[in-house]
Structure 1
């Protein structure tokens, strides 16, 4: 952490001199001591095939949604109805909830409004919410994304618990 912060310090100054390097080290030590990172109880696993599936599907969603949002911008009938949706996630892991939320809101057409870890819920602003079917389709796409993230990164116990809920 100290090395990374020192590099940022040097980049901000735009020069490498002994004074700037020592100042960067002192500033980095100060930041790390005064503002320590909390100990995160997060554990995760990297599974290659589910991670590949997650990445491939994310890029497919990115391309598809970009085309849809572009069409909404130029279509003659104007912008579609939008809505704020609450999606209850099945995982209890804040790390998995955060990754899922980020992947969902990086795709054009949705925006994260709030993440509530106590309720395992996320609130999203959705661009295309003209019909109840579209809203339910979006809600299901978020749950499918959560399932892919869980299969790719969650520890075995979390993965088994979420996949058991999917099956029921």
Structure 2
């Protein structure tokens, strides 16, 4: 942390001098002593197959969402929007954060709030034409959580996901199974 703050200090001053480095170290130590950070959960398990699966599906999801968003923008009428409450299945704060970042990166959706105690993510989605589209949006958020946890989660995270229906939406009141509540035409 002190090293990072020192680098930031030198960058803010714009010149690499011995005085700036020493001052940066002093400022870094003072900041870390006066404003200590809470312990951060850093237990991540990198699973190469899960990472590849996450990356490929994430790129495909971004392309499909971009296409869908363009269709809404160029359509004859403005799209209907909705705010959905989606209860996440993994209890890990790190997995909740990673999932919310991934959801926010997909065009047409935005994370408005995350209730940490209940693990509920409130997501704004475009294209809420009917109940089927709302279920599709919920299902996509849960599928994304499934891929994030299976790519970066610990064994406990994966076990919690499986215990709560880790098929990408089976526990969220959908029709269950791998196909989920939304079928492509």
TM-score (norm 2): 0.84
1:73 aligns with 73
> What is the CA–CA distance in structure 2 between the aligned matches of 1:128 and 1:79, rounded to whole Å?
9
Is 1:136 aligned with 2:167?
no
Residues 85-115 of structure 1, C-alpha deviation per residue, up to 9 Å, x if partnerless?
Answer: 1001111111111111110111011111110
Contact 1:147 1:163 in 2 (8 A): no
**Superposition deviation, residue 2 in structure 1:** 1.3
- For residues 30 and 67 of structure 1, the distance between their equivalents in structure 2, rounded to whole angstroms, comes to 50
After superposition, give the CA deviation of every residue in 1:19-42 in whole Å (9 maximum; x if it has no partner): 222221111111111111211345
Q: Are the counterparts in 1 of residues 45 and 154 from structure 2 also a CA contact under 8 Å?
A: yes
Q: For structure 1, which runs of at least 5 residues remain unmatched after alignment?
A: none
Contact 1:2 1:28 in 2 (8 A): yes
- In structure 1, the partner of 2:173 is none
Deviation track 1:69-88 (CA, whole Å, cap 9, x = no partner) reads: 2232222x132010111001
Which range moves more in the overlay, 36-45 or 141-150?
36-45
- Identify unmatched segments of 5+ residues in structure 2: 171-185
**Higher fraction of helix:** 1
Where does residue 84 of structure 1 map in the other structure? Answer: 83
CA distance in 1, matches of 2:42, 2:15: 38
Length, aligned pairs only? 167
Matches within 5 A, 1:39-50: 39-50=39-50
- CA–CA separation in structure 1 for the residues paired with 2:156 and 2:146: 14
